């Protein structure tokens, strides 16, 4: 995201930074007390990363911006209940991801491709792709991911980029663990095909 996003009186800077002697926990405490500068600093610190997380799932800049604003609004209203449950960043990311998934579900009834091979515990006979072989330029992967079907893009983003386990992704999406595994394998294969076909490597 090359430009700044203006939202109310909060500005997302391209490279948000915190003062070296200031921690996220300190900012959260300031926000709990109603400190508006604390809100602004916390927003600027996380906004770019959370925007990118939303964008990878919904694949639409305007929707990602809306999700970003909604997620921060919800987070700021719920700071008291958050305290000490987890890191603020991890908590906020889950809010962003849940909102992103719900957005895709609302607009695309069949956003996850259900594989008949994974129903009733039947395991597909497909080899895993070695992660060490999955090395391409970041920009190539980003461009190729935009072309993936929603289900593939979401599962791949959550596992490969956000580092969630298949079991966690299954819970987020409300689908079987075997289906997540199937989607992930096929998403990676499709991604490699797109990169190859479009000479993105």
* 92 and 11 co-located in one domain: yes
Residues 38 and 77 in one domain: yes
Same domain, 103 and 140: no
- CATH number at 98 reads 1.10.1740.10
Helix (H, G, I), strand (E, B) or coil at 34: coil
Return all residues near 42 (Cβ < 8 A) that are at least 6 apart. Answer: 24, 27, 28, 31, 88
In the predicted model, is pLDDT for residue 60 greater than 50?
A: yes
Q: Specify the range with the lowest mean pLDDT, choosing from 8-12, 42-46, 72-76, 149-153.
A: 8-12
Q: Are residues 32 and 57 in the same domain?
A: yes
The answer on 100 and 9 residing in a single domain is yes
Q: What does 140-188 look like in DSSP terms, one character per residue? A: HHHHHHTTS-HHHHHHHIIIIIT---HHHHHHHHTS-HHHHHHHHHHHH
pLDDT, residue 168, reads 94
Determine phi and psi for 12, rounding to 5 degrees: -90, 110
Give the rounded percent of residues in the chain with a pLDDT score beyond 70.
71
pLDDT digits (tens, 9 = 90+) for 85-106: 678 899 999 999 999 999 988 8
Q: CA–CA separation, 98 vs 79, rounded Å?
A: 17
Total domains, the chain: 2
pTM above 0.85, yes or no: no
Evaluate if residue 43 carries a pLDDT over 60.
Answer: yes
Condensed to tens digits (0 to 9), the pLDDT of residues 158-198 reads 998 888 999 999 999 988 999 999 999 999 899 888 988 87
The verdict on 60 and 128 lying in the same domain is no
In Å, the largest CA–CA distance within the chain is 56
Locate tokens 């719920």: which residue? 78
> For the chain, what is the mean pLDDT?
77
Angle at 151 between CA 87 and CA 96, to 5 degrees: 25
Residues 6+ apart with CB under 8 A from 175: 112, 114
Which domain does 141 fall in, by range? 116-197
- Report how far apart, in Å, the C-alpha atoms of 36 and of each of 15, 29, 39 are: 20, 12, 5
Instruction: Write the CATH number for 147.
Output: 1.10.10.10
The residues, ordered by sequence, that sit 6+ positions from 34 with a Cβ below 8 Å of its Cβ are none
Cβ-Cβ contacts under 8 Å for 28 (sequence gap 6 or more): 38, 42, 79, 82, 83, 88
Q: How far apart are CA 201 and CA 195, in angstroms?
A: 6
**Each residue of 169-180: b (16+ CB within 10 Å) or e?**
bbebbebbbbbb
Q: Is the pLDDT of residue 125 over 50?
A: no
């Amino acid at each position: 995201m090359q430009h700044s996003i203006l939202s109310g009186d909060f500005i997302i800077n391209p490279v948000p930074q915190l003062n070296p002697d200031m921690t996220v926990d300190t900012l959260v405490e300031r926000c709990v007390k109603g400190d508006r500068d604390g809100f602004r600093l916390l927003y600027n610190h996380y906004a770019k990363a959370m925007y990118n997380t939303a964008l990878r799932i919904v694949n639409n800049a305007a929707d990602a911006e809306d999700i970003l604003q909604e997620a921060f609004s919800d987070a700021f209203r719920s700071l008291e209940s958050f305290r000490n449950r987890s890191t603020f960043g991890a908590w906020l990311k889950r809010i962003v991801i849940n909102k992103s998934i719900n957005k895709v579900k609302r607009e695309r009834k069949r956003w996850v491709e259900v594989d008949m091979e994974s129903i009733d515990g039947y395991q597909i006979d497909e080899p895993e792709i070695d992660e060490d072989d999955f090395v391409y330029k970041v920009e190539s992967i980003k461009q190729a991911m935009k072309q993936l079907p929603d289900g593939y893009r979401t599962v791949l983003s959550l596992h490969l980029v956000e580092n969630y386990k298949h079991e966690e992704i299954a819970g987020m999406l409300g689908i079987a663990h075997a289906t997540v595994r199937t989607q992930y394998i096929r998403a990676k294969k499709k991604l490699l095909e797109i990169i190859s076909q479009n000479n993105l490597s």
